[in-house]
Amino acid sequence: METTRLDRELDTRKEFQRAEQWQPTATLPEPKKQPGWEYRWIRTSLLNQQDSINVSNSMREGWEPVKASDHPEMKFVPDPNSRYKDSIEIGGLLLCKIPEEFIAQRRAYYDNMTKSQTQAVDNNFLKENDARMPVFSDKKSTTSFGKGK
């Protein structure tokens, strides 16, 4: 006994799906994350003036422009006057990416700088220490609440 059935591709479930709801658009869309990469919007212009210094500093740090062909899900109208023709630039901001290893190294570098600066401030503060009147360097903060009426 042979039964006639529709192919799976022809079978739809539109009647069971919820209707899509309108949402306001985000000014800067989020790209789909690719493993091993971090993303950031980098300023290319401010008040209609090119910000070449900021872009150059970012490129030297390791940030590279994201190609529009790598993220077809991002819908935007390219600026005809943009210096970055095949990249994603919206409102003077350029989408860039960097390997996650660079981010970890950068974070470790700034953590080390913060520790050394804190230690320098502590050493300068504690050199005024006198045995007759000791100075305490307590690294804790507390929050207290007053008693209500």
Q: Is residue 59 part of a domain?
A: yes
| Beta strand residue intervals within 37-128, DSSP E | 37-43, 45-46, 49-50, 64-65, 89-90, 93-99
| pLDDT tens figures, 33-60 | 889 999 999 999 888 888 899 999 999 9
Note down the domain range covering 84: 38-99
Q: Is residue 123 part of a domain?
A: no
Q: Is this prediction's pTM over 0.95?
A: no
Q: Please count the structural domains in the chain.
A: 1
CA distance 22 to 93: 26
Residue 104 has pLDDT above 70, yes or no: yes
DSSP at 89: E
Residue 15 has pLDDT above 80, yes or no: no
Q: Is residue 143 part of a domain?
A: no
Q: Is residue 113 part of a domain?
A: no
pLDDT of residue 39: 94
Lowest-confidence pick of 30-39, 61-70, 82-91, 134-143? 134-143
Q: Is residue 145 part of a domain?
A: no
